[in-house]
């Protein structure tokens, strides 16, 4: 299978590619995509930058998949995932081989880094990204276009809504529901449900404002 990755910015991408190829030698990564025209025709480490989303119709085909690596904002991640699909690309997963997928359920278009732990009966939607060392405990459900930063701890039986952004080292206590397009600040400890579009920070986390309600859900398909 050929996989094209959108986003030529993080050198960790190259290490992940090499780890995946050691685990699955049939995977081929011909190059990267990036929407910055200044990067087109250059190389990111040893990978050519082939263009932006406008290159997808020419690259798409049987046994070809695309993944967005954009993680700075869930809105940008959602929009990039939608752009891939609108251009005719088929989403696939980019999951580090260290992640145990046993007894879990996954959508597609997900970007999951090294040493992420997902326990039994975790359900992850489409177009999500979970960074290094995060823990997602048993029976937790994660929606579409969610970003979970490194070292986050999500306890068991939680529900994370579409488009939610959870910052570094945040802790979510058991059976918490976080609404869609919410933002949880770095280091926050969430002990109660968080409504849609809310920005919550602190220990315990408190809602300080609401995000603009631009999108209803985070589905890219």
Q: Enter the tokens of residue 200.
A: 């919550």
Q: Enter the tokens of residue 76.
A: 């940008």
Measured in whole angstroms, the distance separating CA 218 from the mean position of its chain's CA atoms is: 12
End-to-end CA distance of the chain: 21
138 is catalytic: yes
By CB neighbour count within 10 A (0-12 exposed, 13-18 middle, 19+ buried), where does 57 fall?
exposed
By CB neighbour count within 10 A (0-12 exposed, 13-18 middle, 19+ buried), where does 132 fall?
middle
Query: How many CB atoms neighbour CB 84 within 10 A?
Result: 25
Candidates 96, 131, 138, 150; catalytic one: 138
By CB neighbour count within 10 A (0-12 exposed, 13-18 middle, 19+ buried), where does 22 fall?
exposed
Report CA-CA distances (Å) from 41 to 33, 51, 215: 10, 7, 34
Which residues are known catalytic residues? 138
């Amino acid at each position: 299978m050929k996989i094209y990755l959108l986003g030529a910015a993080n050198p960790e991408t190259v290490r992940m590619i090499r780890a995946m190829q050691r685990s699955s030698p049939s995977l081929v990564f011909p190059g990267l995509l990036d929407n910055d025209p200044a990067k087109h025709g250059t190389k990111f480490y040893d990978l050519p930058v082939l263009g932006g989303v406008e290159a997808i119709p020419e690259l798409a085909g049987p046994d070809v998949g695309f993944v967005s690596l954009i993680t700075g904002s869930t809105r940008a991640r959602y929009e990039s995932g939608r752009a891939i699909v609108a251009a005719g690309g088929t989403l696939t997963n980019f999951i580090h081989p260290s992640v145990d997928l046993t007894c879990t359920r996954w959508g597609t278009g997900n970007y999951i880094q090294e040493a992420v732990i997902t326990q039994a009966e975790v359900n992850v939607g489409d177009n999500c990204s979970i960074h290094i060392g995060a823990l997602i405990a048993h029976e937790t459900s994660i929606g579409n276009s969610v970003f979970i930063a490194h070292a986050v701890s999500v306890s068991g039986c939680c529900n994370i809504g579409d488009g939610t952004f959870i910052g570094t080292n945040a802790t979510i206590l058991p059976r918490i529901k976080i609404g869609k397009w919410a933002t949880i600040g770095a280091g926050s400890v969430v002990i109660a449900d968080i409504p849609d579009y809310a920005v919550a920070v602190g220990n315990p986390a408190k809602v300080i404002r609401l995000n603009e309600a631009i999108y209803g859900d985070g589905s890219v398909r």
